[in-house]
Structure 1
């Protein structure tokens, strides 16, 4: 049996950031992922400068070898009415390809890795966990996304009543002809809200790569909403008429709607496994990175792997992201006054789409950077 002080299950931004943040802690860390990297990852794919700073990634250096699309504007609308375009006058975010970004973060951490290995068994033996009858550890960290096997160890496992957001999207490299015909601009992502405000769609160009998708809370109607949106974008010339392949799906939890405990004896959840996606936008990368950095600080300070010692992590998450509201019937946590006919008027407002939708909901410019010593 191979012993590790910490085993991290999941090699996305949350898991790789935690492993990276623990490198000089004196702890022996193993990172396990069922896939080999680089791998496809369904995600619109943008990160703010704050995330790059937290990860200590120099955008200029990263952009020399990877896709990095500066974002200065947003085009926002309610489906069925003209959009509003806001120019922020500076780079407020970056478009990335998750297959590249996740591979980069994973490659830079020097911990032991077991890639292409699924978790087949998890057993409690004394004070430790044994995974796949191969590795033993007092602390296992779930970083494997919404369906992370480690989440099943906490409480009753993922709740049946959790309000899950389902999304479908496609990302592909356009041919020269498609790129010429595509009216979407690289520095101006397009966000289109559904009329009932239970989700939104996007068109996001990153150089010659195009990402199109839609996410909603009522996934039984997802395909219909997506098809209507794609047809509208094709008819208006915003996207090429000859889209390749099929749309891939994924699911995640919004922070205010998640019911999952974050810690127990020898167990801790981070990122999407913990259900930390921002409630208004569904963004998961910044919460994943920040939860990993907060977890690393707690793991470094903890005297053991008991729930009592790890509870500081739960407290840190609540302090950073707020106390979960658990309003399962409130859709995307949109205020009731915005769900009235006033919504159409507000979505035509440059002030509202800039100050509320873009800067508050999507960029979280009101949230200060996470100051964490690594």
Structure 2
């Protein structure tokens, strides 16, 4: 529901942003009887630059929020088809106790509306077309939030016991609170468009791992084709790097080359170009700090929770949203501010080890020689490529330390194969 801002000026929690992280936070809070207002700048449904692919990590969160009926109407897929150096392997998602072995392709205009509607259905108040313009601080606490109705240009003040910053990568309020990105950590670039294909009903998403630039050099990234089930596929190009040499790459031209490379196999129209595609930056690896304060915390892209191995962000938006709701519920219920103030540590505990390895991975593939040799070695057999894909999607069994150990063991095996 979209209430007028004059009807309600305060709540237990105010969430800035209604994307994956903000909507998930609002849902889990409202489900527990916590009053919550979501301040969303856009009018939904709205488009969003994204690959639209939901991995099992995202699916388990959506199913937990009661959105299986929405997913049932979307394109289901079984796993990833990896393509490189003339080889192609269909790699099913692993069978794990905590995750399903399937995913979906869902346009963000559909997905984000469904999750935010779900949050509203359990009691969250959603203020569409409202922009958070200023936070008033006192002693490190947010005292109030100034919000503007974009349609009328009228401003009002909202107050809450706790505030969640889910603004995405352009986090205006977060920056005003001192949040800054560690420029030494990876920054991704991505671009995507929708293209007609008669293979739209396929049950595998496809990733090409041996892309080249205009000079023939190996690119530290990948191209994707995600069949959408509606006569189109989401086709995109992602660059994962922390090397300055790649940051000025023309991603539109890179997508054009990828389309030409895959046009015959996927039957994309010859007259379609990438000029209509949209792109953006991907802040990855928990590269933004601080992520919490005495009565506020940051989730999703606002805290750079994107996986540096593959550029996936939706599932981590949902996960950090649920974590935030847990911390806030505990804090409000006990009167103890430490669960909110300590949210930075909670994120570190859950993700930092895996993301640290991902950051090293990105650094390695920024070197074209390491990128090409690593992909070539991994693609020598399906048996080798299967655990690589599981690592990149963060779908490994065991505890966090066990998963990190699996990555190092696989890396060592690849090095031994290269030496042999």
- Asked whether the two chains share a fold, i.e. TM above 0.5, the reply is yes
2:248 and 2:327 map into 1 onto residues whose CA distance is 40
Matches within 5 A, 1:102-181: 102-110=112-120, 111-124=124-137, 127=141, 128-132=143-147, 133-155=156-178, 157-159=180-182, 163-171=186-194, 174=196, 179-180=197-198
**Alignment partner of 1:71 out of 73, 77, 82:** 77
Give the match for residue 17 of structure 1.
Answer: 24
Residue 19 of structure 1: CA displacement?
0.4
Residue 88 of structure 1: CA displacement?
2.5
1:291 and 2:325 correspond: no
CA RMSD, aligned part only?
3.2
Give the match for residue 229 of structure 1.
Answer: 258
After the TM superposition, which of the residue ranges 134-143 and 206-215 deviates more from structure 2? Answer: 134-143
Q: Could you tell me which runs of 5 or more consecutive residues in structure 2 were left unpaired when the two chains were aligned.
A: 1-5, 96-100, 148-155, 213-217, 401-420
1:54 and 1:290 map into 2 onto residues whose CA distance is 7
Task: State TM-score, norm by structure 2.
Answer: 0.75
Change (3 A) 1:342 1:52: closer
Matches within 5 A, 1:206-355: 206-207=228-229, 208-216=231-239, 217=241, 218-221=246-249, 222-243=251-272, 246-255=276-285, 258-302=287-331, 308-323=338-353, 325=356, 331=362, 339=371, 341-355=373-387
1:136 and 1:327 map into 2 onto residues whose CA distance is 39
Task: State TM-score, norm by structure 1.
Answer: 0.83
Q: 1:158-212, CA deviations, whole angstroms, 9 ceiling, x for partnerless residues?
A: 455553211110125x3xxxx43xx566212110123545211101111123101
1:326 and 1:50 map into 2 onto residues whose CA distance is 19
**Alignment partner of 2:207 out of 175, 191, 215:** 191
SS in 1 for 2:130: coil
Residue 360 of structure 1: CA displacement?
2.1
1:345 and 1:330 map into 2 onto residues whose CA distance is 15
Give the match for residue 58 of structure 2.
Answer: 51
**Alignment partner of 1:84 out of 85, 88, 91:** 88
Q: 1:259-309, CA deviations, whole angstroms, 9 ceiling, x for partnerless residues?
A: 322111332110111111112111111111111111111101115899744
Give the match for residue 203 of structure 1.
Answer: 225
Give the match for residue 100 of structure 1.
Answer: 110
SS in 2 for 1:231: helix
Number of residue pairs aligned between Structure 1 and Structure 2:
356
Give 1 or 2: higher helix fraction. 2
Residue 152 of structure 1: CA displacement?
0.5
2:284 and 2:31 map into 1 onto residues whose CA distance is 32
Residue 246 of structure 1: CA displacement?
0.5
After the TM superposition, which of the residue ranges 196-205 and 35-44 deviates more from structure 2? Answer: 196-205
Residue 130 of structure 1: CA displacement?
2.4
